[in-house]
Structure 1
Amino acid sequence: MDQFSGFVKTRELNKAQQLDTSIELLKASKETLFNSKEKLKKLNDESLEKIIVDLDTQINNFETRISEISALRTKIEKAANTIEIERQAEIERLAKLEVPAL
């Protein structure tokens, strides 16, 4: 049970780390889109307005996805911590049990 809960916690923390990487990549992509939008704004051409609106939509989509992944990451981290708390409680419970004399 102890090894299994340790494995599960490690697996969940690895998932959280992968999500952190995804969040960073999404943030970088969002920043690139934002910079592209700002460059287009400087051109001040009305025909580019639709492109700017589309970029705003994409930026908002990235922000939404980042928020969703952040929330998922928080849930995974909480689950890993709960597993650790339960594991410690089980260890303490087992430590209190009397061992019969041989």
Structure 2
Amino acid sequence: ADGGAGDDPNSLAHADYASNPPPIYPAVARRREQQGTVTVKVLVGADGSVERAEIADSSGFDALDDAALDTVRSRWRFVPARRAGLAVESWVLVPIRFALLEANAVR
């Protein structure tokens, strides 16, 4: 990861988050056939921990937004951004897509 630093709240860094577990699809959202993408804005600490997370762009469904936010806050870690060879705090945007498989909807 390289790019932004924590002293500029608008700076964004590229982070490696592919190995983090996906959120559990909320049962209520599944029953209601709700789908969408939540974009979470994350302040990544110099140690790769999540210092802060907030919804940058809602899916339009509270259950999906809450599941994404809870998972990022409690279970995710990142590769921190680096500046001059040192790990620094930075912001990243993380899109999380909730999609129901069409095969499950067809009888």
- TM-score band by shorter chain is under 0.3
- TM-score of the pair, normalised by structure 1: 0.24
Q: Which of the pair has more CA radius of gyration?
A: 1
Q: Which of structures 1 and 2 has the larger relative contact order (alpha carbons within 8 angstroms, sep 6+)? A: 1
Normalized per residue, the structure richer in helix is: 1
- TM-score of the pair, normalised by structure 2: 0.24
